[in-house]
Amino acid sequence: MEFFNLHTHKYTNQPNILELVNQYPQEFDATIPNYSIGIHPWFIVEERIEADLVIIESKLQEATCLAVGECGLDKRIEISMEFQEMVFERQLLLAQQYNKPVVIHCVAAFQELIAIKKKLNISVPMLIHGFSKNAQIAKQLVDNGFYISFGKYLLLNKELETVFKSVPNNRFFLETDITDEGIEAVYELAAKYKGISVNEIQEIVNSNFNKVFDFRL
């Protein structure tokens, strides 16, 4: 594996890239070889939650499903936090049951996220995708056992360089999410910011991948 893309909505089917493609329960595409599946907080439909969770649980038992997600918490939407937390917690418990990592969407709710992890005593890896906040929040997340994934905002916001450099090498991943840029561009920028080669970034990400995901290439 030359490149691992932790989170993307676009399956590109390139032989040198392992892509963790985001899937939704009601729009599942069985032709995608490696994926995560979850209920995104934006797309919670009350009448459909139980049906969605049944689909998620069935997919978690397949080897091609590498993670739960993206799921999480978002304070900038109209769905109540109480309801979001219930849906998120149900998915975390499934992840724990089937020993799968969790890809997390979190907007302005990092304290709630940390509290839920502690409350439920979640031991599977929890990965914050698309990180765009400051070094203080990054450190708090790392100190509480989270991994942090960088992609779109790393490319767009020069101020994230300091934040990215502050994250220990054994705690980060890289992704493209919905950007048109390839994962290679993210690796190149990550290498530049860390002051190392792209090959070294590849070794770091591969090591983190092997630690987090129960998957053999």
Give the bridge partners for 73, in sequence order: 106
User: Which residues define the annotated binding site?
Assistant: 70, 105, 129, 177
Instruction: Give the count of beta carbons closer than 10 Å to the beta carbon of residue 162.
Output: 12
- Cβ-Cβ contacts under 8 Å for 164 (sequence gap 6 or more): 150, 154, 172, 190, 193, 194
Q: How far is 85 from 74, CA to CA, in rounded Å?
A: 10
pTM: 0.97
Within the chain, where are the H helices?
49-60, 81-98, 110-120, 135-143, 152-156, 160-166, 183-194, 198-212
Q: State the DSSP H helix or E strand holding residue 173, giving kind and residue range, or none if neither.
A: strand 172-174
pLDDT score, position 215: 73
Strand order in the sheet with 65-74: 3-8, 17-23, 35-37, 65-74, 102-107, 126-128, 147-150, 172-174
Residues contributing to the annotated binding site for a divalent metal cation: 70, 105, 129, 177
Domain ranges of the chain: 3-212
81-94: pLDDT as tens digits: 999 999 999 999 99
Task: Say whether domain 3-212 belongs to CATH 3.20.20.140.
Answer: yes
Contact 142, 165 (CB under 8 A): no
pLDDT single digits (tens) 116-175: 999 999 999 999 999 999 999 999 999 999 999 999 999 999 999 999 999 999 999 999
The answer, yes or no, to whether residue 217 has pLDDT greater than 90, is: no
In the predicted model, is pLDDT for residue 209 greater than 60?
yes
**pLDDT tens, residue by residue, 12-59:** 999 999 999 999 999 999 999 999 999 999 999 999 999 999 999 999
Is 90 exceeded by the pLDDT of residue 115?
yes
pLDDT at 216 over 80: no
